[in-house]
Structure 1
Amino acid sequence: MTSSSKQQEATLAPPLTLSGKKVVVVGGKTGIGLGVALAAHAAGATVVVASRRIASAEERPDLAEFLQISVDIRDESAVRAAFDTIGPLDHLVVTASPDLGSWGSFMDADMNGVRSYMEGKFLGSWACARHSAPHLKPGGSITFLTGGLAVRPKAGFAAATSSFAAVEALSGSLALELAPTRVNTIRPGFIDTDMWSFLPAEHRDGLRRKVEEAFPARRAGKAEDIGHAALFLMTNPYVTGTVIEVSGGETLVPSVS
């Protein structure tokens, strides 16, 4: 091989393949997490889906290609045990999140709702990173998931806004602390999944129409859009400490909610 050929080979973009890699997707049984799990599997990875309950093959035939493990990320001892069971892994993607309508309001009689949300999102993400780190192979990565609320707060969503911003700050901190393990965050916009099932059907349909009319992408996001972004972050060896927004241009237009 000539020197020019070697130089050209060295400058080629890394392939979007995960052949021979083990990818753990926390919250990978539904919605965005399932989109990430499917993308990783299509790229050749062995995929472990971690969620609170293991589904049977009869119940969820779409999960047949994945290994499943049960874990509640609000329970640190359970998270530690889960990653000890999983063993060596190449990439971790934490997509699990409490329901958007689960925390109540800022002026509730107590703070039980926000404490539960923070435990399920911020501290759960922290625990997954903490207990996966000793098992990550060289060249591995951790990817978190937040949302547009991290940079565009809305009334009534203080718990989610605060939790998302905290996860993004954690991502940058861990990119330094765990280096050379790469740590990044995906910040989705409106992704049309069952995450929005807490809304009445007519409200959800109306929101989808507004998104299609207002967003520059002229459509609602899909779980596979986030899967594609996760695949990029897992396979590009020079991206760390960053937040990738996959929002269809949501932050360029007035709020549609």
Structure 2
Amino acid sequence: MEGNHDHGRALEGRRVVIVGGTSGMGLGAARAAARAGAEVIVAGRRPSGERAASAPEDARLAHETVDVTDEGSVKALFERTGELDHLLITAAPNPGSWGVFLEQDVAGAQQFMNAKFFGSWACARYAAPRMRAGGSITFLTGGAAVRPRAGASMVSATFAALETLARGLAIEIGPLRVNTIRPGYTDSEMWSFLDDEAREQLRQKVRAAMPVRRIGTVEDIGHAAVFLMTNPQMTGAVLEITGGETLVDGL
């Protein structure tokens, strides 16, 4: 693992719920929170029997199933989990739902917005009343919020809306804290639709283009998530973890 990602036991005695925490960046954050001493509940679409356990911390994760596009499912999740201290929502729609603007209809565009924006909204809505003092909510967006790309206009619009929602909620539900992590290219399961050769080519392109000369890791996102959970002065903020992606020309 590159860099120092040790937060000690900063989350000892805290309950953390990570929606989307069964793989990728969410799982990276779940492992980081577990290492920091938290009781961690991970929730995702896949049945728990299909979730891989490959790190020592995985044995300490409690598993739940949720569909963020179903308000009833989200509400039931937080009724089951009860009181919590921190919530992170990393759940993301299928990449195939991004859509080229002139090839989309309204229903297609709404599919992405419903899954990412309103899914995150629902998680925050039903978690907030159960949060203990000092609690926090963290959303996850991406560099496209400020660097749109052709063929992904709904991604940019949805991410920007979610970052704006976080700032609004920071005011509305304070002293609960609400922040956003904005990752860049991160080596995670989100690229699983690429074959091994294409994925390695992506890694090489990212390393060459980024000022930090590396592609992000899920551990980077986990470190950022624990920081936002444990720093009592962070609210209404966007923490950009892009390796400088927004400073350079796109890949």
Normalising by structure 2, what TM-score? 0.92
**Higher alpha-carbon deviation: 247-256 or 141-150:** 247-256
Q: Which of residues 193, 213, 230 in structure 2 aligns to 1:198?
A: 193
Contact 2:30 2:40 (8 Å CA) reproduced: yes
Bigger mean CA deviation after superposition, 97-106 or 118-127: 97-106
Q: What pairs up with 1:103-252 in 2 under 5 angstroms?
A: 103-108=98-103, 110-252=105-247
Equivalent position SS for 2:250: coil
Query: Which structure 2 residues correspond to residues 35-50 of structure 1 after superposition, within 5 A?
Result: 35-50=28-43
- Quote the Cα distance in structure 2 between the aligned partners of 1:214 and 1:103: 24
Q: Distance in 2 between matches of 1:125 and 1:168?
A: 11
**Alpha-carbon separation, structure 2, partners of 1:59 and 1:196:** 17
Distance 2:80 2:226 in 1: 24
What's the CA shift for 1:59? 5.6
Equivalent residue of 1:64, what SS? helix
Equivalent residue number for residue 76 of structure 2: 81
The percentage of counterpart residues that share the same residue type is 54
RMSD: 1.6
Amino acid at match of 1:232: F
> SS of the counterpart of 1:101?
helix
Alpha-carbon deviation of 1:69?
1.0
| Alignment partner of 1:20 is 2:13 | yes
Q: Report if the CA contact (8 A) 2:85-2:134 is conserved.
A: yes
- Corresponding residue SS for 1:180: coil
Q: Distance in 2 between matches of 1:77 and 1:175?
A: 25
CA contact (8 A) 1:101 1:198 kept: no
Instruction: State the number of aligned residues.
Output: 242
The more displaced of 120-129 and 206-215 is 206-215
1:95 to 70, 90, 94: 90
Aligned counterpart, 1:5? none
Hey, what does 1:61 align to over in structure 2? 53
Question: What CA distance in whole angstroms lies between the structure 2 residues aligned with 1:59 and 1:93?
Answer: 19
Structure 1, unmatched stretches of 5+, are 1-13
For the 8 Å contact 1:144–1:185, the answer to whether it is kept is yes
Change (3 A) 1:138 1:59: closer
Which stretches of structure 1, 4 residues or more, deviate above 3 A after TM superposition? 199-203
Instruction: Tell me how far 1:15 sits from its aligned partner.
Output: 7.2
Name the CA distance, whole Å, in 2 between partners of 1:166 and 1:200. 32
**1:176-196 superposed Cα distances (whole Å, 9 cap, x missing partner):** 011000000000010011101
Tell which structure's C-alpha radius of gyration is larger.
Answer: 1
